[in-house]
Structures are given as C-alpha cells and as structure tokens.
Chain A
Amino acid sequence: MARRLRSRPTRIANCALVVCLCAVASFPVYWMFVTAVSPEREMYSANPPLFPWHTKIKAFADLLAAGQAGEWLLNSVIVSFCAVAATLVASILSGYGISRFRFRGSTLFGVLLLATQMLPQALIVVPVYIIFRGLHLLNSLFGLVVIKLAINVPVATWILKGYFDTVPREIEEAALIDGCTRLQALRRVVLPTALPAVIAVGVIVLIEAWNEYLFATTLITSQQRWVTSVGLASFIGMFTVPIEQVMAGALLFTLPVLVLYFTFQRYIVSGLTGGAVKG
C-alpha cells in the first residue's frame, strides 16, 4: 500500500522529481505535436517555440494529399485487424486446449510457447525471408499477417489459458450435461465469461501488429503496400519532406495507439501480468 509521506522537504523533493520525470517522459510526445502544428520556419529558427503560438494544421492535409500516407494507414489497419482476427481464433482454441486438457505433450507445448518469446526477430528474419520467397508470400500483406500471427499467438495463448484457468469448470460441465459439445460450450459459456481476456488479447495484438516494423520493411518491397511504420521510417534522411509533415504523420500513427492503450489499459496490464482480470 502507498506510504504516507513523512516530512515537508521530502514531500517537496518527491514532487519535484515526479514533475521532472513526467516532463522527460512526455516532452517528446508534446514536441511531436508542437512540430506538427507549427510553421516550419519557426521550428528551424534559432528559437523554436516551446508552445505552439501559431498553429496551422496544413501539414496534415499536405501529408495526406501527397498521396501515400493514406494508403499506408489503410494498409496498417488491414494488417492489424486481420492479424487480430487470426490470432484470436488460433489462441482461443489452443488456450482452451491447454487449459482444460492434460494431454501428452501439453507441457512441451507450453515450454515451446515460452521459448518463442525469447527469440530475437532479427535472427529469424533471414530464413523467414527465404522461406516466404519460396512460398511467394513476399511483398504481400497476407504474408505480413501470417508473420504477425506467428509472433503473437504464443503470448495470446498464454494469456487466454491463464484466464480460462480461472473460469470454473462447473459452468461448462452444466452445458455439457445439457447436451452441448465441447466447442459449443466454449463458444456459449466460456468465451462470454472470458471476455476481458479476449479484449486484452485483441488490443495487445492490435497494437503490436500496428507497430510492426522489422518484417514489414523486409518482406514488403512495393511502396503502395507499405505500412505506416515503414512509410514514416522512409522519411528519415529525406530532406524533401518538411519536418512538420513528418511529425504530422508520426502523430497520426501514434494517436490510435495512445487511444487504444489508455482506453483499455486495465485490460492490457492485467492480461500481461497474468490473467487475473476478473473482478
């Protein structure tokens, strides 16, 4: 439990430190916003405004009009949502499987799930590239969805398993006695109870797929299939795109994630720290 502060100087020092930390934590995000809405001239001057006195949101219009940013965002949306759908299907099934059944290999399966989390992506990107090339999955959003599915399904399975474990078996037993098959019981009884975990997984995977960069930049070659992260990264080193447009793009890329994150924060934190979302 939180401790009561003891003395006045301690309290003041505490507050000062908290304010400093908050400033350092939030300033870059704030600066992205300021840069996106301030005239370029000001940002490049010797005294860039710390507060956006002269806002102009033309940067956003320019960025979207120049053509590609809209496409990039659309691609990101497609890949993210498809990845969520696919991951949920696979992980609900497997999470339920290892939650409710003790079968030969279930422990090994669990270990396998955990082991994949230690895998640095950069170390499999080369073989995955070669394999995808053979399967003609290169330069396709579908290929990207497949890779996102593979990366997220272990965590998703684990979170859902943890939550399914807390759903009392009696409820399912009742449904089974009433004549449901296992899968029907899963769909009608267990899943509705496990909704918080499903939401948590959905949001976590959505954010993770939205933020994807390494495979997106390696596997996709044509510009119109770029996702937003790759498109934004391509601005670096290019001096043709004004900085306020770059920051506007970054802001458009970041806002959905921030909204998702803070709306569903409770679910995300509970999901990631271990399944005890109930109550």
Chain B
Amino acid sequence: MQRRPRGTEQHLPYILVLPTLLIILTILIYPIIQGIATSLYRSEGLQPGTGRFVGLDNYLRLLKDKEFWNAARVTVVYAFWCIIGTLGVGLGTALLLNQRFAGRGIARVIMTLPWAVPEVAASLIWIWMLNPDVGIVNVLATRLGLITHNIRWLNQIEWALPTMLFVTIWKVFPFSSVVLLTALQAVPEELYEVAAIDGAGTWHSFRQVTIPGIRPTLTLLTLLVTIWSLKRFTLIWVMTQGGPVGQTETFGLIVYRTAFKFFDMGYAAAIGVVGLAISAIVTAVFLWVEQRRTEAA
C-alpha cells in the first residue's frame, strides 16, 4: 500500500538526493561546461580568464593538427584491439573454466589477479619485466630462442602499441571472463542436448546455441570495454607517456600532455571537448543499435 506523502515527506526525496546531486553537478558536470568555455579561449599560462577569446580557433587548429589526428587514430586502434582481445581471451578463458576439472576454483582465483592489481603497480612491474636489457621477458624470450636481440618493447615504434595492448588485455581479461562465465553457465544444458540430437558438432552447437545465448552479455561487455578503452589513462601514461613519437598517445593522453606539459589550456580543453563528444556519440550509437536489435528480436 502506497502512503501518500504529506508535509515534509513530500520534500524528503529531494533532500535525500541533494548531496549526491550537488557533488555531481559541481565536480563532474560544471567542469564539462567550464571546459567548453575554456576551449574558446587562447590561454596564456595557467591563469583562467587571461586568455583571449578566440571562438572556434582552437577547433580549427586541431583539425589541422597532425598530432591530434594521430591521437584519434591511436584511440580508435587501441579501443578496437582492446575489444577484440579482451572479449576473445575472456570468452576463451570462460569456455575453458566452464568445464569441470580439478583445481578449477584455484584457477579462477589466480586468473583474477591482473584485474585486482592496482594499475600503477601493474605498470611498474611490466616496465621492469619489459626492460630491454635485464627484463625477464627478453631474458626468457632469448633463452627460448624466440628473439635474437633484445627488443625495446616500450620504445620501438612498431612494438609500443602492441605491447600496451598486451598489457591492457592482460589487465582486463579477468573481468570479461568472469562475466562471460556467468553468462555461459546460464545457457540451459537442454539446448545443447537438442543440438546434439540434431547432429550438431562442437563448432555448430557453439555457433547456434552458445553465441546466441550469451549475446546480450557480449553486447554489454563490448560497450563496457569500449568505454573503458576511451577512459584509460593511468596504465598508458605511466608506461609510455604516449609512447615513442606518440605511438601510444590516445585522446586522454594528448589532452593531459597539452595541458600540463605545454600549459596550453585552451587547446587542451578543445581536444577534451572533442574526445568527450566522441565518447558520447559512441555510447549513443551503441545504445541505439542495441535498441534496434532488441526491438527486432
């Protein structure tokens, strides 16, 4: 039975959400607006308000900026391979863990380690392991005959981004595998039995039973991993600061570098606004596609 709110209780919900609302508006929303405003100025130094109003100049500048387009390219490539890698490895791991075998519980615990380790610690460890001269990766790879000379994993132009992708996927795949394992276990055994009776082999039942069964989870996971790729900062910044010649510089990194290394706040804000718009568009597109798909189903 719903009680009709009277007197002060009518205002209670507003009071309850007020602290949270205030905090979000002042610390998260207002900065976005402020950022848009800052992007319309050409800053001289860190003082707000000492810049000249230049309208859309910063945006025109970034359209012609090679480094901006490089950051755009890196962001897209990074996000793309993160999704493929995280979902692929996550699904593979989930499929493996979905079998019953001794030590399964321990394996699951061990495999969550990368996810649980703090980003800064993980970065430090990997930097040490990837050290060209004394890092264990090169030592082992040489000993196993996989490489002939030490590769500078984080410093060579062709290796920096793939290395960052590897470390990222290492860090994130546990989450993906836990979520997918839950989804896999929710697929009713009967569906597989029916498929087997119909003569479907392993691959076929995988395509016809497993994939459709976990599709909603796959979609949600794709969205999450995409957003996380766009959000990712610490891991990349600590390990490469944008990498050799910007090879690992995503939007987040170029904004940070422009603002705090070059103190070009107006320009940094402009790039930030563009990055934000892209995140918003990606999310909106995703949700729209999902909406269409669930309507069609």
Contacts and interface: CB of A to CB of B under 8 A. Distances in A.
Interface of A: 1-5, 11, 14-15, 17-18, 21-22, 24-26, 28-29, 31-32, 35, 43-44, 46-48, 89-91, 93-94, 96-98, 100-101, 103, 106, 109, 112-113, 116-131, 133-134, 146-147, 149-151, 153-154, 157, 173, 176, 182, 210-211, 213-214, 218, 229, 232-233, 235-236, 243, 246-247, 250-251, 253-254, 257-258, 261-262, 265, 269, 273
A235 B192 CA distance: 53
A21 B181 CA distance: 15
B21 A173 contact: no
B20 A94 contact: yes
Contact of B35 (A89, A118, A123, A149): A123
B17 A93 contact: yes
Contacts, number: 264
Contacts of A89: 19
A4 to B, nearest CB: 6
Given A229-B118, A246-B128, A150 B252 contact: no
B23 A14 contact: no
Interface stretch (B56-64, B97-105, B155-163, B288-296): B97-105
B283 interface: yes
Contacts of A129: 259
Query: Which DSSP category, helix, strand, loop or mixed, fits chain A's interface?
Result: helix
A132 to B, nearest CB: 9
B12 to A, nearest CB: 6
Interface of B: 1, 3, 5, 9, 12-14, 16-17, 19-21, 23-24, 26-32, 34-35, 38, 46, 48, 92-93, 96-101, 104, 107, 109-114, 116-129, 134, 136, 139, 170, 174, 178-179, 182, 185, 189, 192, 227, 230-231, 233-234, 237-238, 251-253, 255-256, 259-260, 265, 268-269, 272-273, 275-276, 279-280, 283
A106 B17 CA distance: 9
A127 B111 contact: no
A104 to B, nearest CB: 9
B129 A229 contact: no
B35 A182 contact: no
Contact of B100 (A3, A25, A96, A125): A3
16 contacts: A1-B189, A22-B110, A24-B170, A28-B129, A101-B16, A117-B227, A120-B231, A122-B252, A123-B252, A126-B265, A127-B35, A150-B27, A213-B234, A213-B238, A236-B127, A258-B113
Given A123-B275, A236-B238, A154 B113 contact: no
Contacts of A44: 134
Contact of B119 (A100, A126, A211): A211
Contacts of B122: 28
A210 B20 contact: no
Given A1-B185, A98-B17, A257-B116, A150 B234 contact: no
B269 A90 contact: no
